[in-house]
Amino acid sequence: MTTIADRIAGRPFAEAADAIAREPVAAPAVAATAVSPPAGSERELRLDLFRGLALWLIFIDHLPPNFLTWFTIRNYGFSDATEIFIFISGYTAAFVYGRAMLDSGVVVATARILRRVWQIYVAHVFLFTIFLAEISYVATSFENPLYTEEMGIMDFLKQPDVIIVQALLLRFRPVNMDVLPLYIVLMLFLPGILWLMKWRADVTLGLSVLLYALTWHYDWYLSAYPNGFWAFNPFAWQLLFVFGAWCALGGARRMSRILSSPITLWICFVYLFAAFCVTLTWYYPQLNHLMPRRLEQWMYPINKTDLDVLRFAHFLALAAITVRFLPKDWPGLKSRWLRPLILCGQHSLEIFCLGVFLAFAGHFVLAEIAGGARLHFIISISGILIMCGMAWVISWYKHVADKSASRAKGTGGNADMAGGG
Protein backbone atom coordinates (compact mmCIF):
# COMPACT_ATOMS: atom_id res chain seq x y z
CA MET A 1 0.00 0.00 0.00
CA THR A 2 2.96 2.30 0.35
CA THR A 3 4.14 3.64 -2.97
CA ILE A 4 6.48 6.33 -4.18
CA ALA A 5 4.47 7.39 -7.21
CA ASP A 6 1.31 6.94 -5.92
CA ARG A 7 -1.57 21.39 10.22
CA ILE A 8 -3.25 25.16 10.62
CA ALA A 9 -5.64 26.85 13.19
CA GLY A 10 -10.08 28.88 12.85
CA ARG A 11 -13.13 30.59 13.79
CA PRO A 12 -16.09 29.26 15.75
CA PHE A 13 -19.54 28.63 14.38
CA ALA A 14 -21.08 31.74 15.82
CA GLU A 15 -18.63 34.02 14.04
CA ALA A 16 -19.34 32.31 10.74
CA ALA A 17 -23.11 32.25 11.19
CA ASP A 18 -23.87 35.25 9.03
CA ALA A 19 -21.68 34.06 6.18
CA ILE A 20 -23.14 30.57 6.30
CA ALA A 21 -26.71 31.82 6.47
CA ARG A 22 -26.18 33.70 3.23
CA GLU A 23 -25.04 30.56 1.44
CA PRO A 24 -27.37 28.37 -0.63
CA VAL A 25 -27.94 24.98 0.93
CA ALA A 26 -26.29 23.27 -2.02
CA ALA A 27 -23.07 25.25 -1.88
CA PRO A 28 -20.06 22.98 -2.66
CA ALA A 29 -16.39 23.28 -1.75
CA VAL A 30 -12.83 23.13 -3.14
CA ALA A 31 -9.29 24.19 -2.54
CA ALA A 32 -9.87 27.46 -4.38
CA THR A 33 -11.88 28.84 -1.48
CA ALA A 34 -9.10 28.67 1.04
CA VAL A 35 -9.06 32.48 1.38
CA SER A 36 -12.66 33.26 2.28
CA PRO A 37 -15.93 31.39 2.59
CA PRO A 38 -18.32 32.03 -0.26
CA ALA A 39 -20.75 34.82 0.49
CA GLY A 40 -23.78 36.15 -1.22
CA SER A 41 -26.54 34.37 -3.05
CA GLU A 42 -24.52 32.98 -5.96
CA ARG A 43 -23.13 29.48 -5.98
CA GLU A 44 -19.38 29.20 -5.50
CA LEU A 45 -18.42 27.97 -8.95
CA ARG A 46 -14.74 27.54 -8.10
CA LEU A 47 -15.72 24.71 -5.81
CA ASP A 48 -17.72 22.92 -8.48
CA LEU A 49 -14.96 23.50 -11.00
CA PHE A 50 -12.26 21.82 -8.95
CA ARG A 51 -14.47 19.00 -7.79
CA GLY A 52 -15.33 18.27 -11.41
CA LEU A 53 -11.64 18.40 -12.28
CA ALA A 54 -10.89 15.92 -9.49
CA LEU A 55 -13.48 13.52 -10.91
CA TRP A 56 -11.95 13.73 -14.37
CA LEU A 57 -8.47 13.14 -12.98
CA ILE A 58 -9.62 10.16 -10.90
CA PHE A 59 -11.19 8.60 -14.00
CA ILE A 60 -8.04 9.08 -16.08
CA ASP A 61 -5.83 7.73 -13.30
CA HIS A 62 -7.99 4.60 -13.09
CA LEU A 63 -7.33 3.81 -16.75
CA PRO A 64 -4.14 2.10 -17.92
CA PRO A 65 -1.34 4.64 -18.48
CA ASN A 66 -1.86 6.67 -21.63
CA PHE A 67 -1.20 10.09 -23.11
CA LEU A 68 -3.76 11.89 -20.94
CA THR A 69 -2.26 10.33 -17.82
CA TRP A 70 0.60 12.81 -18.16
CA PHE A 71 -1.88 15.65 -17.60
CA THR A 72 -2.88 14.45 -14.11
CA ILE A 73 -1.24 16.10 -11.11
CA ARG A 74 0.09 12.91 -9.57
CA ASN A 75 2.88 12.88 -12.15
CA TYR A 76 4.22 16.26 -11.08
CA GLY A 77 4.15 16.14 -7.30
CA PHE A 78 3.25 14.17 -4.21
CA SER A 79 -0.55 14.62 -4.06
CA ASP A 80 -3.26 13.71 -6.54
CA ALA A 81 -6.98 14.18 -7.16
CA THR A 82 -7.95 12.26 -4.01
CA GLU A 83 -6.76 15.11 -1.79
CA ILE A 84 -8.85 17.59 -3.76
CA PHE A 85 -11.95 15.40 -3.50
CA ILE A 86 -11.68 14.80 0.27
CA PHE A 87 -10.96 18.46 1.04
CA ILE A 88 -13.97 19.47 -1.03
CA SER A 89 -16.12 16.94 0.80
CA GLY A 90 -15.20 18.38 4.19
CA TYR A 91 -15.68 21.98 3.02
CA THR A 92 -19.04 21.22 1.43
CA ALA A 93 -20.35 19.22 4.35
CA ALA A 94 -19.44 21.97 6.82
CA PHE A 95 -21.30 24.62 4.82
CA VAL A 96 -24.41 22.59 4.13
CA TYR A 97 -24.85 20.89 7.49
CA GLY A 98 -23.20 23.60 9.56
CA ARG A 99 -25.99 25.91 8.50
CA ALA A 100 -28.56 23.25 9.38
CA MET A 101 -27.01 22.91 12.84
CA LEU A 102 -27.20 26.68 13.34
CA ASP A 103 -30.77 27.00 12.08
CA SER A 104 -32.38 23.77 13.31
CA GLY A 105 -30.16 22.40 16.05
CA VAL A 106 -27.91 19.39 16.50
CA VAL A 107 -30.63 16.73 16.31
CA VAL A 108 -32.09 17.89 12.99
CA ALA A 109 -28.65 18.42 11.46
CA THR A 110 -27.54 14.98 12.60
CA ALA A 111 -30.64 13.42 11.06
CA ARG A 112 -29.90 15.14 7.76
CA ILE A 113 -26.29 14.00 7.82
CA LEU A 114 -27.27 10.41 8.55
CA ARG A 115 -29.72 10.51 5.66
CA ARG A 116 -26.91 11.65 3.38
CA VAL A 117 -24.66 8.90 4.73
CA TRP A 118 -27.37 6.39 3.88
CA GLN A 119 -27.63 7.78 0.34
CA ILE A 120 -23.89 7.44 -0.19
CA TYR A 121 -23.92 3.95 1.30
CA VAL A 122 -26.73 2.86 -1.04
CA ALA A 123 -24.82 4.34 -3.97
CA HIS A 124 -21.75 2.38 -2.91
CA VAL A 125 -23.68 -0.90 -2.65
CA PHE A 126 -25.34 -0.27 -6.01
CA LEU A 127 -21.98 0.52 -7.61
CA PHE A 128 -20.46 -2.58 -6.03
CA THR A 129 -23.22 -4.77 -7.49
CA ILE A 130 -22.99 -3.28 -10.98
CA PHE A 131 -19.20 -3.41 -10.90
CA LEU A 132 -19.18 -7.09 -9.95
CA ALA A 133 -21.70 -7.89 -12.66
CA GLU A 134 -19.65 -5.98 -15.24
CA ILE A 135 -16.39 -7.73 -14.37
CA SER A 136 -17.96 -11.19 -14.07
CA TYR A 137 -19.74 -10.85 -17.41
CA VAL A 138 -16.60 -9.76 -19.22
CA ALA A 139 -14.44 -12.46 -17.60
CA THR A 140 -16.97 -15.19 -18.46
CA SER A 141 -17.84 -14.00 -21.97
CA PHE A 142 -14.21 -13.63 -23.02
CA GLU A 143 -12.97 -16.59 -20.98
CA ASN A 144 -10.32 -14.49 -19.31
CA PRO A 145 -10.15 -15.08 -15.53
CA LEU A 146 -7.35 -12.52 -15.27
CA TYR A 147 -9.98 -9.77 -15.14
CA THR A 148 -11.40 -11.10 -11.87
CA GLU A 149 -7.92 -11.38 -10.37
CA GLU A 150 -6.76 -8.00 -11.62
CA MET A 151 -9.86 -6.17 -10.37
CA GLY A 152 -9.75 -7.92 -6.99
CA ILE A 153 -12.98 -9.99 -7.11
CA MET A 154 -11.50 -13.50 -7.21
CA ASP A 155 -12.54 -14.05 -3.58
CA PHE A 156 -16.12 -13.13 -4.47
CA LEU A 157 -16.32 -15.96 -6.99
CA LYS A 158 -15.00 -18.42 -4.36
CA GLN A 159 -17.08 -17.23 -1.38
CA PRO A 160 -19.92 -15.02 -2.64
CA ASP A 161 -21.93 -15.27 0.59
CA VAL A 162 -19.02 -14.22 2.82
CA ILE A 163 -17.83 -11.51 0.44
CA ILE A 164 -21.27 -9.90 0.18
CA VAL A 165 -21.47 -9.57 3.96
CA GLN A 166 -17.94 -8.15 4.12
CA ALA A 167 -18.78 -5.73 1.30
CA LEU A 168 -21.84 -4.49 3.18
CA LEU A 169 -19.52 -3.90 6.17
CA LEU A 170 -17.21 -1.91 3.84
CA ARG A 171 -14.36 -4.35 4.48
CA PHE A 172 -14.22 -5.84 0.98
CA ARG A 173 -13.83 -3.59 -2.06
CA PRO A 174 -12.73 -4.27 -5.61
CA VAL A 175 -10.07 -2.14 -7.24
CA ASN A 176 -10.93 1.59 -7.63
CA MET A 177 -13.74 1.45 -5.05
CA ASP A 178 -11.91 2.83 -2.01
CA VAL A 179 -12.97 6.49 -2.01
CA LEU A 180 -16.69 6.11 -1.22
CA PRO A 181 -16.15 3.94 1.92
CA LEU A 182 -13.72 6.58 3.20
CA TYR A 183 -16.30 9.29 2.49
CA ILE A 184 -19.02 7.30 4.27
CA VAL A 185 -16.93 6.91 7.44
CA LEU A 186 -15.90 10.59 7.47
CA MET A 187 -19.49 11.74 6.99
CA LEU A 188 -20.63 9.40 9.76
CA PHE A 189 -18.48 11.35 12.22
CA LEU A 190 -19.45 14.76 10.82
CA PRO A 191 -22.09 15.52 13.52
CA GLY A 192 -19.43 15.21 16.21
CA ILE A 193 -16.98 17.30 14.19
CA LEU A 194 -19.51 20.09 13.67
CA TRP A 195 -20.58 19.99 17.32
CA LEU A 196 -16.96 20.37 18.43
CA MET A 197 -16.41 23.18 15.95
CA LYS A 198 -19.47 24.92 17.32
CA TRP A 199 -17.68 24.84 20.67
CA ARG A 200 -14.09 25.55 19.57
CA ALA A 201 -13.07 25.33 15.92
CA ASP A 202 -9.35 25.66 16.60
CA VAL A 203 -9.44 22.98 19.27
CA THR A 204 -11.29 20.65 16.89
CA LEU A 205 -8.59 21.07 14.26
CA GLY A 206 -5.96 20.51 16.94
CA LEU A 207 -7.64 17.25 17.98
CA SER A 208 -7.68 16.20 14.34
CA VAL A 209 -3.95 16.83 14.07
CA LEU A 210 -3.40 14.86 17.29
CA LEU A 211 -5.36 11.89 15.93
CA TYR A 212 -3.31 12.06 12.74
CA ALA A 213 -0.05 12.02 14.72
CA LEU A 214 -1.19 9.15 16.95
CA THR A 215 -2.21 7.17 13.87
CA TRP A 216 1.30 7.42 12.50
CA HIS A 217 2.93 6.71 15.87
CA TYR A 218 0.82 3.69 16.86
CA ASP A 219 0.04 2.48 13.32
CA TRP A 220 -3.73 2.60 13.73
CA TYR A 221 -5.75 1.35 10.77
CA LEU A 222 -8.96 -0.39 9.70
CA SER A 223 -8.56 -3.93 8.46
CA ALA A 224 -9.87 -5.10 5.10
CA TYR A 225 -11.09 -8.50 3.95
CA PRO A 226 -9.63 -11.02 3.28
CA ASN A 227 -6.37 -9.44 4.45
CA GLY A 228 -4.58 -6.13 4.59
CA PHE A 229 -6.05 -2.75 5.45
CA TRP A 230 -8.02 0.12 3.93
CA ALA A 231 -6.31 1.80 1.00
CA PHE A 232 -7.29 5.16 2.54
CA ASN A 233 -6.89 5.09 6.32
CA PRO A 234 -9.80 7.14 7.80
CA PHE A 235 -7.75 7.89 10.96
CA ALA A 236 -5.26 9.77 8.79
CA TRP A 237 -7.42 11.16 5.98
CA GLN A 238 -9.81 12.71 8.50
CA LEU A 239 -7.24 15.49 8.86
CA LEU A 240 -7.87 16.75 5.33
CA PHE A 241 -11.64 16.42 5.77
CA VAL A 242 -11.62 18.31 9.08
CA PHE A 243 -9.26 20.91 7.66
CA GLY A 244 -11.75 21.51 4.83
CA ALA A 245 -14.58 21.93 7.35
CA TRP A 246 -12.42 24.29 9.43
CA CYS A 247 -11.70 26.43 6.37
CA ALA A 248 -15.39 26.57 5.47
CA LEU A 249 -16.39 27.76 8.92
CA GLY A 250 -14.09 30.76 9.11
CA GLY A 251 -10.61 29.32 9.27
CA ALA A 252 -9.85 30.26 5.68
CA ARG A 253 -10.71 33.88 6.35
CA ARG A 254 -8.42 33.80 9.37
CA MET A 255 -5.60 32.64 7.09
CA SER A 256 -6.19 35.25 4.39
CA ARG A 257 -3.32 37.47 5.52
CA ILE A 258 -0.91 34.54 5.55
CA LEU A 259 -2.03 33.31 2.15
CA SER A 260 -1.75 36.76 0.58
CA SER A 261 1.84 37.17 1.78
CA PRO A 262 4.54 37.09 -0.95
CA ILE A 263 6.67 34.95 1.36
CA THR A 264 3.96 32.28 1.50
CA LEU A 265 3.66 32.38 -2.28
CA TRP A 266 7.38 31.84 -2.80
CA ILE A 267 7.50 29.05 -0.23
CA CYS A 268 4.71 27.28 -2.12
CA PHE A 269 6.45 27.69 -5.47
CA VAL A 270 9.75 26.40 -4.09
CA TYR A 271 8.07 23.38 -2.49
CA LEU A 272 6.13 22.52 -5.66
CA PHE A 273 9.29 22.81 -7.74
CA ALA A 274 11.20 20.57 -5.31
CA ALA A 275 8.37 18.01 -5.43
CA PHE A 276 8.44 18.12 -9.23
CA CYS A 277 12.19 17.48 -9.25
CA VAL A 278 11.72 14.48 -6.96
CA THR A 279 9.00 12.99 -9.18
CA LEU A 280 11.32 13.28 -12.18
CA THR A 281 13.57 10.71 -10.56
CA TRP A 282 10.65 8.25 -10.51
CA TYR A 283 10.31 8.32 -14.28
CA TYR A 284 13.94 8.89 -15.21
CA PRO A 285 16.10 6.54 -13.10
CA GLN A 286 19.27 8.07 -14.54
CA LEU A 287 18.55 11.11 -12.34
CA ASN A 288 18.57 9.10 -9.12
CA HIS A 289 22.18 10.01 -8.41
CA LEU A 290 21.07 13.63 -7.94
CA MET A 291 18.98 12.69 -4.91
CA PRO A 292 20.89 12.80 -1.60
CA ARG A 293 20.71 9.42 0.14
CA ARG A 294 19.84 10.98 3.49
CA LEU A 295 16.92 12.78 1.85
CA GLU A 296 15.69 9.57 0.27
CA GLN A 297 15.87 7.69 3.56
CA TRP A 298 13.90 10.43 5.31
CA MET A 299 11.35 10.91 2.54
CA TYR A 300 10.50 7.42 1.29
CA PRO A 301 8.05 5.83 1.24
CA ILE A 302 5.62 8.67 0.57
CA ASN A 303 2.62 6.91 2.04
CA LYS A 304 -0.72 7.53 0.38
CA THR A 305 -2.64 5.15 2.64
CA ASP A 306 -1.85 7.23 5.75
CA LEU A 307 -1.78 10.62 3.96
CA ASP A 308 1.91 11.34 4.20
CA VAL A 309 2.66 14.84 5.47
CA LEU A 310 4.52 15.53 2.22
CA ARG A 311 1.31 14.85 0.28
CA PHE A 312 -0.69 17.08 2.61
CA ALA A 313 1.85 19.89 2.28
CA HIS A 314 1.83 19.53 -1.50
CA PHE A 315 -1.94 19.92 -1.59
CA LEU A 316 -1.76 22.99 0.67
CA ALA A 317 0.80 24.59 -1.65
CA LEU A 318 -1.40 23.94 -4.68
CA ALA A 319 -4.44 25.33 -2.86
CA ALA A 320 -2.62 28.49 -1.76
CA ILE A 321 -1.42 29.26 -5.29
CA THR A 322 -4.86 28.52 -6.75
CA VAL A 323 -6.46 30.95 -4.34
CA ARG A 324 -3.94 33.63 -5.24
CA PHE A 325 -4.43 33.45 -8.99
CA LEU A 326 -8.08 32.36 -9.35
CA PRO A 327 -10.40 35.00 -7.84
CA LYS A 328 -13.99 34.23 -7.04
CA ASP A 329 -15.24 36.63 -9.73
CA TRP A 330 -13.02 35.27 -12.50
CA PRO A 331 -15.06 35.63 -15.73
CA GLY A 332 -13.88 32.25 -16.96
CA LEU A 333 -16.11 30.56 -14.40
CA LYS A 334 -19.06 31.64 -16.53
CA SER A 335 -17.48 30.30 -19.70
CA ARG A 336 -19.29 27.60 -21.62
CA TRP A 337 -15.96 25.78 -22.00
CA LEU A 338 -15.75 25.18 -18.26
CA ARG A 339 -19.45 24.40 -17.92
CA PRO A 340 -18.95 20.60 -18.33
CA LEU A 341 -16.41 20.55 -15.50
CA ILE A 342 -18.70 22.58 -13.25
CA LEU A 343 -21.70 20.36 -13.98
CA CYS A 344 -19.70 17.24 -13.13
CA GLY A 345 -18.66 18.88 -9.87
CA GLN A 346 -22.26 19.71 -9.00
CA HIS A 347 -23.28 16.04 -9.31
CA SER A 348 -20.16 14.44 -7.92
CA LEU A 349 -21.64 11.26 -6.41
CA GLU A 350 -23.33 10.14 -9.61
CA ILE A 351 -20.38 11.08 -11.80
CA PHE A 352 -17.88 9.35 -9.53
CA CYS A 353 -19.88 6.10 -9.69
CA LEU A 354 -20.17 6.40 -13.46
CA GLY A 355 -16.44 7.04 -13.71
CA VAL A 356 -15.60 3.80 -11.89
CA PHE A 357 -17.84 1.86 -14.25
CA LEU A 358 -16.36 3.54 -17.34
CA ALA A 359 -12.80 3.02 -16.14
CA PHE A 360 -13.19 -0.76 -16.16
CA ALA A 361 -14.99 -0.65 -19.50
CA GLY A 362 -12.07 1.32 -20.91
CA HIS A 363 -9.61 -1.09 -19.30
CA PHE A 364 -11.39 -4.01 -20.96
CA VAL A 365 -11.39 -2.43 -24.43
CA LEU A 366 -7.71 -1.58 -24.19
CA ALA A 367 -6.88 -5.12 -23.05
CA GLU A 368 -8.82 -6.78 -25.86
CA ILE A 369 -7.93 -4.41 -28.70
CA ALA A 370 -4.38 -3.41 -29.44
CA GLY A 371 -5.16 0.10 -30.65
CA GLY A 372 -2.11 1.94 -29.40
CA ALA A 373 -1.97 5.54 -28.19
CA ARG A 374 -4.81 6.65 -30.46
CA LEU A 375 -7.28 4.19 -28.92
CA HIS A 376 -6.11 5.18 -25.43
CA PHE A 377 -6.85 8.79 -26.24
CA ILE A 378 -10.25 8.04 -27.78
CA ILE A 379 -11.35 5.96 -24.78
CA SER A 380 -10.22 8.61 -22.30
CA ILE A 381 -11.99 11.43 -24.13
CA SER A 382 -15.11 9.29 -24.70
CA GLY A 383 -15.33 8.53 -20.98
CA ILE A 384 -15.05 12.20 -20.08
CA LEU A 385 -17.71 13.11 -22.68
CA ILE A 386 -20.07 10.45 -21.28
CA MET A 387 -19.55 11.82 -17.76
CA CYS A 388 -20.30 15.34 -19.02
CA GLY A 389 -23.40 14.13 -20.84
CA MET A 390 -24.68 12.38 -17.73
CA ALA A 391 -24.02 15.49 -15.63
CA TRP A 392 -25.98 17.59 -18.13
CA VAL A 393 -28.92 15.14 -18.08
CA ILE A 394 -29.01 15.11 -14.26
CA SER A 395 -28.82 18.90 -14.16
CA TRP A 396 -31.59 19.23 -16.75
CA TYR A 397 -33.81 16.77 -14.92
CA LYS A 398 -33.27 18.53 -11.61
CA HIS A 399 -34.05 21.88 -13.22
CA VAL A 400 -37.28 20.56 -14.69
CA ALA A 401 -38.28 18.92 -11.40
CA ASP A 402 -37.60 22.11 -9.43
CA LYS A 403 -39.55 24.12 -11.96
CA SER A 404 -42.51 21.75 -11.73
CA ALA A 405 -42.43 21.85 -7.94
CA SER A 406 -42.36 25.65 -7.94
CA ARG A 407 -45.25 25.80 -10.39
CA ALA A 408 -47.25 23.36 -8.26
CA LYS A 409 -46.70 25.50 -5.19
CA GLY A 410 -47.60 28.64 -7.07
CA THR A 411 -50.91 27.14 -8.17
CA GLY A 412 -51.73 25.74 -4.76
CA GLY A 413 -50.70 22.21 -5.74
CA ASN A 414 -49.45 19.55 -3.40
CA ALA A 415 -46.60 17.07 -3.38
CA ASP A 416 -48.53 14.50 -5.41
CA MET A 417 -49.20 16.99 -8.21
CA ALA A 418 -45.52 17.93 -8.27
CA GLY A 419 -44.43 14.34 -8.48
CA GLY A 420 -43.23 14.26 -4.91
CA GLY A 421 -43.81 11.60 -2.37
The predicted pLDDT at position 149 comes to: 74
Paired strand residues for 229: 223
Q: How far apart are CA 379 and CA 160, in angstroms?
A: 32
The conformational region for residue 63 under phi > 0 = left, psi -120 to 50 = alpha, else beta, is beta
The predicted pLDDT at position 19 comes to: 36
The predicted pLDDT at position 9 comes to: 32
Global confidence as pTM: 0.85
The predicted pLDDT at position 55 comes to: 96
The predicted pLDDT at position 32 comes to: 36
Three-state DSSP class for 229? strand
Residues sharing a CB contact under 8 Å with residue 121, sequence separation 6 or more, in sequence order: 184
Which of 240, 246, 238 shows the shortest CA–CA distance to 222? 238
Give domain limits for the chain.
13-329
Q: Which residues in the chain show pLDDT less than 70?
A: 1-43, 370-371, 409-421
**Neighbour tally for 227: CB within 10 Å:** 7
